[in-house]
Structures are given as C-alpha cells and as structure tokens.
Amino acid sequence: MTARPANAHQARLLRLLRDGGPGSRAQLGDQVELSRSKLAVEIDRLLDTGLVVADGLAASRGGRRSHNVRLAPQLRFLGVDIGATSIDVAVTNAELEVLGHLNQPMDVREGPVAVFEQALGLAAKLRSSGLAPGGFDGAGVGVPGPVRFPEGVPVAPPIMPGWDGFPVREALSQDLGCPVLVDNDVNLMAMGERHAGVARSVDDFLCVKIGTGIGCGIVVGGQVHRGATGSAGDIGHIQVEPDGRPCACGNKGCLEAHFGGAALARDAEAAARSGRSPELASRLDTHGRLTAADVAAAAAAGDPASLALIREGGNRVGQVIAGLVSFFNPGLVVIGGGVTGLGHHLLASIRTQVYRQSLPLATGNLPIVLGELGPTAGVTGATLLITDHLFSPAS
C-alpha cells in the first residue's frame, strides 16, 4: 500500500469504511459533511488509488440505488503484541478483522533481536499460509514498557533489559518492508477494546492490564493519554505497602511486587511448598512450576489457599484502582490481561474495594468489567494504530 489519502475528507472516509465496514455512498454521505458532488469526487479519487473498491449496488433507500464501496479486500495489516512471557502475532484485513492469529511463549528479557526474530518468524508463517500473499501494508507493535511514541523507541523499560533505545520502528519497518508504529502494549489493549470490544465507542475509560506486570491504558476523549514522557499508566510501581516486598524497579512495596502474574506464581509456589495448598502442590509436582492459570484452576476446584490469593490480589489492585477512580472519574474500567483467567473472583474483590473506597459520585454509574477480546485486544489495537496513521493525510 503506497497510496495515502490526499486530504482530511478522504482520511475520514477510509476510517469510516474501516470501522463500519462496506457502505453505500448514501450512508457515507450521512456521516461526513460534504455535498453530494464533493463526496462523489473524493470517493472516485479513493477508487483511483486502489484503497477503495466498488462492491455492488446498495439496498434501495427509495430513489436511485446507490453503489456500495469498501476498503480493498487484499489489504493486510500485521499486529504484534509482545508481552513479558509470550507473543501474539495476527494478520487482519483493512476492517481489522483477525484473519489469523498465532501465540507463542517468549521471554522479553532475551532482548529485541531474539524477540523480533521470533515475531518475524510468526509473521512469515501467517504470510506463507496464504493469509497475506502480497505481504503487509503496515504493522503495529506493542511492547511491555514505556515508548517514546513519535520515534517508536522503548525507554528505560524496567522489565526489559537490552530494549532501552532500541529502534523498534525503524528495524521492523526495514525487515517487513512496510510502515510500522510502536506503542505500549497496554495502550494498544485499551484501543483494541474500544474498537471492537467492551469499551466500544466509550470516549473516557481506563483499561487495567494484569499480566506478568500491571499497567493501565488511559483513554481521554477517544485518544490514548501517553503523558509527558510516554510513561502514563505505569501503575505497577505505585506503592501499596510502605515497607512491602522489594520490586525489580529498586523500590519497595510496588503493586507489581504484590500482585500480577509473576507475584501470583511466586505466592502460589510458596503455598504449594508450605503445605497450605495440596491442590497447588500436586500441580507443582506435575508441571514443575505454577502460573496464574494453575491458581485459576485450583480456585475453580475450591482450593481455599488459591481463593485467598486471588482475593488478596484483587484487594491490592482494587485499592490502586479506587485511587485512580477518585482521581480520574472514568466512565468505565476494563480489566484485561492474562490474569483475567482468575475471572469473577478477581473482579469481585476489585469491585468491593473500589465501591467501598471511592465516593458514591464517582462509582454510582461506573461499570467495572472484564475485557472481551482476550489475546486479540492487543493485536487489534496494534492494527488500529497503524491504520489510523496510514488513513491520515501524508504530511
């Protein structure tokens, strides 16, 4: 895809077709403030670029039948969502429907070179399976740490040794032969849930991702708030216990040191070894290690120690979210990430804390819900990011 919209009207039309799917000229006309003749001109120009194609006659609305148009069906976008311990790679069409999706365990601490080798391998696999025969028209990438957004460079990521300053955008763009944008993984999850999930069309909300670590996507007026240095939403290092556990960041008592996938696994193994949980002990025997999924399964089987771990973790994260709700007064809180496998036990503890600690005015009409898209939230947000860029007038 080398063509770009020539002006703001064309950009708006492309995004409407991306978000709403194929539409008639008449339907598009209802959504943009353009005269009929100007609309026709812009659509004809988009047809000329090949970004948009005709798609048959629309259903009659009375009068002459209007032609349908849609985004070119061969456009392909790549979404890459790098977590701390796994990687998701997906290919979508221009309407951001996930056509194929692969997930693999991965260790972000191996550094960018090894991780991107893996990402490119997965992308090649999707491509060669016939999902993207012509290659990719653009790619969005999420990394589990703060990003200097305009340059697409991770900065000082606490859990990502070797990534500081690595030119992700530039390097991947060369390897893939297409434009690439990079953002924090949590921001992409938030925008993914806004595009196609539980936060659909919500303009102001928080999306808390509880994976190995914990972060928060902040959406204000439909846009991600990245903060002065790109580290907004870094709630994993909010102190929850004045003299609490030592954290990887060098401080004590950070939220992440007490809850999240890594802390939960550690606590679960301690419960298994101490004899407090025969259920977890038997799982530890079988697998050699424990994860949040083991705690979820043990809790589902009624294991009191696992239930207590979830409750305590939910209280911790709920305490932090309560503060954010008082501060930010969001209209919706979405909980996502790997630990959502803990499901409704976790959600119940979080809700209890927030509804107890924040003032009624802030919580009176505040849904706190699990994300809907699971592992495709991040990759959807990633393809949204790059198409937002490509469906803007080249400047």
Q: Quote the least distance from Cβ 239 to a copy of itself, whole Å.
A: 5
Are 286 and 278 spatial neighbours (Cβ–Cβ below 8 Å)?
no
Least gap, CB of 168 to a copy of itself (angstroms): 17
SS3 207: strand
Cβ proximity to a copy of itself: between 165 and 304 the closer is 165
In the bound complex, what is the minimum distance in angstroms from residue 222's beta carbon to a copy of itself? 12
- Give phi and psi for 222, each to the nearest 5: 80, 0
Longest dimension (CA), the chain: 77
Q: Which is nearer to a copy of itself, 192 or 318 (CB)?
A: 318
Q: How large is the angle between the packed helices 304-328 and 343-357, nearest 10 degrees? A: 40
Q: Secondary structure of the chain: what % helix, strand, coil (to 5)?
A: 45, 20, 35
Q: Which is nearer to a copy of itself, 106 or 188 (CB)?
A: 188
Is 275 or 360 the residue whose CB approaches a copy of itself more closely? 360
CB of 54 to a copy of itself, least distance (A): 37
- Choose between 29 and 146: whose C-beta lies nearer to a copy of itself: 146
Three-class secondary structure assignment of 164-187: CCCCHHHHHHHHHCCCEEEEEHHH
Shortest CB 165 distance to a copy of itself, Å: 12
Contact residues toward a copy of itself (CB under 8 A) are 146, 155-156, 158, 204, 216, 218, 220-221, 225-235, 237-239, 249, 251, 319-320, 322-324, 326-331, 356-362, 364-366
CA distances from 252 to 141, 239, 246 (A): 31, 7, 4
Is the alpha carbon torsion for 37, 41, 44, 50 positive or negative? negative
Q: Which is nearer to a copy of itself, 86 or 328 (CB)?
A: 328
| Least distance (Å) between residue 199 CB and a copy of itself | 13
In DSSP notation, 284-340 reads HHHHSS--HHHHHHHHHTT-HHHHHHHHHHHHHHHHHHHHHHHHH--S-EEEESGGG
